[in-house]
Amino acid sequence: MPVSPISIFAPAKLNLSLAITGRRPDGFHDLVSVVAPLDFGDVLHVEAADGLKLTCDTPGVPTDGSNLVLKAATTFFQATAGAGAVRGAKFRLEKKIPVGAGLGGGSSDAVAALRGLNALAGHLLSLARLTEMAARLGSDCPLFLHERPVVMRGRGERIEPLAESAVARLRGRCVLVFKPGFGIPTPWAYAQLAVAAPHSYMPAAEAEARLASWLTNTNAPAEELLFNNMEPPAFRKYVALPALLDQLKTDFGFAARMSGSGSACFGFLPPGVSSASIIAAIHAAWGDSAFAMDTRLM
């Protein structure tokens, strides 16, 4: 068994393509999305202890039972009761992923907790069992059990790893990720889609056809994947987003899209192009509270 404590990297994610195809009877939404983890994220330190405790280096991040890290831990301990596994834990979260960004920070942290506890328990649970538990914690949690680009379907619980030929077109690509000082509440974003239905949804057959076209055309670059039908309602309310994206396209030829339900946006950096001038323009438009950094797809 690993020596306690251990440290688990919790990567951010980007929805390179996101097609919301309809609302389900259970209130969730169906989607087809190509998602890639980033070489940037949080770090969760996990240590066996009595009881449950979470601390975080970022003010404002909840450290009580509402945090997905502690919810994941409770789920893990319930699943392994009587198996001789560790029965309590102390977590210390180094938070780098901005909150309310659509970058999956909370979900990634939750899966890091599952992975860390499972490592402390001598890998007691299989990947399939961890995936089942992750799906109960959140729709986009299961993708973080795969350290590679994947296709998400259903409400996010159905994960299909991309073929290596497709991954080769994504892995290592430089991206600039940026976010204004405000976030977009995920429940609000999905509610706007439901209000605007049915014209706001993309038919599932069309979403699958778009994906199949990119997968079969092995010469198609990653840029041709970029799509997000959650942008229109977000852009109508948060006009700072489309205003800056249009400016960056005009001034730098830098085409950016929103990730997930926002408010973070991203774009691919052409080889040899410095991000410094683009980041300066982002801060000039959105102020010093804006987050901006370049990283790579894993």
pLDDT tens sequence across 182-209: 999 988 999 998 887 667 899 999 999 9
List the beta bridge partners of residue 22: 30
Within this chain, do residues 126 and 205 fall inside the same structural domain, yes or no?
A: no
- Residue that terminates a domain, selected from 108, 135, 165: 165
Task: Identify whether residues 208 and 160 lie together within a single domain.
Answer: no
Average confidence (pLDDT) over 287-297: 96
Rounded to the nearest integer, the mean pLDDT of the chain is: 93
pTM of full prediction above 0.75: yes
Name beta bridge partners: 174: 296
Predicted confidence at residue 194, as pLDDT, reads 83
Question: Is residue 129 a part of any domain in this protein?
Answer: yes
- Its sign, for the CA torsion 154, 118, 80, 110, is negative
What pLDDT digit, counting tens, does each position of 226-264 carry? 999 999 989 999 999 999 999 999 999 999 999 999 999
Alpha helices by DSSP H, the chain: 68-79, 105-120, 127-137, 164-167, 186-196, 204-216, 231-237, 240-252, 276-286
Residues 118 and 46 grouped into a single domain: yes
1 within a domain of the structure (yes/no): no
Q: Are residues 210 and 283 in the same domain?
A: yes
Residues 184 and 138 in one domain: no
Residue 2 pLDDT level (bands cut at 50, 70, 90): low
> Cα(202)–Cα(197) distance, rounded to whole angstroms?
10
| pLDDT band, residue 165 (cuts 50/70/90) | very high
Is there a single domain that holds both residue 127 and residue 199? no
Say what the pLDDT of residue 34 is: 98
What is the C-alpha to C-alpha distance for residues 52 and 77, in angstroms, rounded to an integer? 11
Q: Is residue 276 part of a domain?
A: yes
CATH of the domain at 282: 3.30.70.890
The predicted pLDDT at position 197 comes to 64
Structural domain boundaries, residue 247: 173-296
Supply the DSSP string of 22-61, one letter for each residue.
EE-TTS-EEEEEEEEEEEEEEEEEEEE-SSEEEEESSTT-
Active site residues: 13, 140
Q: How far apart, in whole angstroms, are the C-alpha atoms of residue 17 and residue 210?
A: 10
241 neighbors 158 (Cβ within 8 angstroms): no
60 and 95 part of one domain: yes
Q: How does DSSP assign 137-150, residue by residue?
A: H-TTSGGGGSSS-E
Look at residue 223 and tell me whether its pLDDT is greater than 80. Answer: yes
Domain boundary residue, one of 127, 144, 165? 165
In this structure, the strands spanning 29-48 and 150-153 are antiparallel
- Token reading at 81: 């009761």
Considering the domain architecture, whether residues 145 and 202 belong to the same structural domain is answered as no
The count of domains in the chain is 2
Say what the pLDDT of residue 3 is.
61
Q: How far is CA 1 from CA 88, 111, 113, 122, 134, in A?
A: 16, 19, 16, 5, 23
Q: What is the pLDDT of residues 111-147, one digit of tens each?
A: 999 999 999 998 999 999 999 999 999 989 999 999 9
Does residue 161 sit in the same domain as residue 186?
A: no
pLDDT of residue 4: 72
Same domain, 274 and 142: no
Residue that is last in its domain, among 131, 165, 199 = 165
Residues 41 and 132 in one domain: yes
Residue 51 belongs to domain with CATH number = 3.30.230.10
87 and 21 fall within a common domain: yes
Distance between CA 134 and CA 145 in Å, rounded?
9
